[in-house]
Amino acid sequence: MIEKKTVKYIANLARIEINEEEKEFLQSQLSKILDYIDKLKELDIEKVAPTRGTFLQGNILRQDKSKKSEVFEDILKNTPEILNNHFKIPKVI
């Protein structure tokens, strides 16, 4: 069982204030968590292969290729003024 002193220390590290009722509740909850971890430590996992996620493939990479986009030209058609293939807007200060 975790001591109240430890719960108070953890609350201080987390920069939270807790009252006596909360200390008792957290003491109980943290003790249950640590007991569960102790149960997990008893499991034999020697034959279990480690995993690194649901996708066991490597990264799928592709070549970066630049290409001209017609969408850009369509967007510029909607602006009232264009300067060097960019939107021209009034100076804002």
Task: Look at residue 82 and tell me if it is in a domain.
Answer: no
pLDDT computed for residue 51 by the predictor = 74
Predicted TM-score (pTM) of this structure: 0.49
CATH code of 31's domain: 1.10.20
- Classify residue 89: in a domain, yes or no: no
Asked if the structure places residue 12 within a domain, the reply is: yes
The answer to whether residue 84 is domain-embedded is no
Residue 80 within any structural domain of the chain: no
Are the C-beta atoms of residues 27 and 4 closer than 8 Å to each other? Answer: yes
* Tally of domains within the chain: 1
Domain that includes residue 35, residue range: 4-41
Residue 30 lies in a domain: yes
What pLDDT is recorded for position 53?
A: 67
Residue 12, SS3 per DSSP: helix
Residue 2: Cβ-neighbour burial (10 angstroms; 0-12, 13-18, 19+): middle
**SS3 of the chain: helix, strand, coil, percent, to 5:** 40, 5, 55
Query: d(Cα 9, Cα 30) in Å, to the nearest integer?
Result: 13
Q: What pLDDT sits at residue 57? A: 67
pLDDT in the model for residue 55: 64
Task: Kindly state whether residue 36 falls inside one of the protein's structural domains.
Answer: yes
- 85 versus 23: the higher-pLDDT residue is 23
Q: What is the pLDDT of residue 36?
A: 96
The HSE-up count of residue 87 (CA atoms within 13 Å, CB side) is 8
Please check whether residue 93 lies inside any domain of the structure.
no
pLDDT in tens, 45-91: 898 887 766 666 677 788 888 877 777 778 888 888 888 888 888 88
